[in-house]
Amino acid sequence: MSKYKLFLLRHGEGAWNKENRFCSWVDQKLSENGVVEAQECGRLLKEQGYQFDRVFTSILSRSIQTAWLVLEAMGQEWVPVTKSWRINERHYGALISLNRAEMALNHGEEQVKLWRRSYDITPPPITESHPYYAEIYNDRRYSTCDVPKEELPKAESLKEVLDRLLPYWNDVIVPVIKSGQTVLISAHGNSCRALLKHLEGISETDIVNVTLPTGVPVLLELDEDLRPVKPRQLLGDQAKIEAAIKKVEDQGKTFGVMSRAGPPSFVPISLR
């Protein structure tokens, strides 16, 4: 029997979702469309009568902004919001800022799919020469984490995301849910996938096929041991949701870059 409801949300579209670049730990804001997606998500949740007691976000602006917009649209701005780097998007290492379609042209669609969706493949790490290294690691927010800055990841597989997320889930979020509070986790494509893998017991093979669109709330109904009692529900117009999932999957295909004017700007990436 369903005892708890938990909502997972990949933030609304960010500026780099639109440009098809790996955003990850770069702190991009929502695009105009992303703002609308978050507001529509809040309106839908309000229409369906849901109420939150507690919200968790990453320390990346796009997940925080999304939480605010959702709560505003629901008239629940007062609900406490707690932030942690442990809910951050997967650290995409040296792939950060690169265009997925260009990467597919350069390295093949299969390789890009492995980098994006496999469970235990870690992309090449970010190094100090990377154009976004200083912007990420000099940011004051990363001095406030529960691990020293030097121990923060330089690249992560989905497995490594789960490894850093689980202690926070178990120690902080689970007690809140078990106290009877309805929780929204406003997070990212891959931090939500990692949590779904854990909660639903998805295999390492099957997690490859799980893709989440932006701005679509995922409702999980859980029993007293936080095991799902029914399949996850992606709330909203199902045809639109299917189309949005396909759009995210297609970001790793070459046709995006073939239609652009001019040659693609390749950045060589070592695969070792």
* Residue 85 binds ligand X15, judged by CB under 6 A: no
- Ordered strands of the 233-234 beta sheet: 81-83, 54-57, 183-187, 4-10, 217-222, 233-234
Residue 260 corresponds to which tokens in the numbers above?
Answer: 């652009």
* Residue 197 binds ligand X15, judged by CB under 6 A: no
* Residue 189 binds ligand X15, judged by CB under 6 A: yes
* Residue 83 binds ligand X15, judged by CB under 6 A: no
* Residue 116 binds ligand X15, judged by CB under 6 A: yes
The residues with which 10 forms a beta bridge, in sequence order, are 187
Written as one string, the DSSP assignment of 190-202 is: HHHHHHHHHHHT-
* Residue 23 binds ligand X15, judged by CB under 6 A: yes
- By beta-carbon proximity to ligand X15, the closer residue of 67 and 226 is 67
Q: What are phi and psi of 186, to 5 degrees?
A: -95, 105
Distances (CA, A) of 88 to 27, 109, 156, 253: 10, 26, 11, 25
Among 66, 122, 190, 254, binds ligand X15 (CB under 6 A): 190
Among 7, 17, 184, 222, binds ligand X15 (CB under 6 A): 17
- By beta-carbon proximity to ligand X15, the closer residue of 124 and 178 is 124
- Is 130 known to be catalytic? no
Q: Are 215 and 221 contacting, i.e. CB atoms less than 8 angstroms apart?
A: no
- Is 89 known to be catalytic? yes
Rounded CA-CA distance 145/142 in Å is 6
**Considering only 156-164, 188-196, 230-238, 264-272, which stretch makes contact with ligand X15 by CB under 6 A?**
188-196
**13, 89, 102, 156: which one is catalytic?**
89
Residues forming the site for ligand X15 (CB under 6 A): 10, 14, 17, 22-24, 89, 100, 116, 188-190, 248
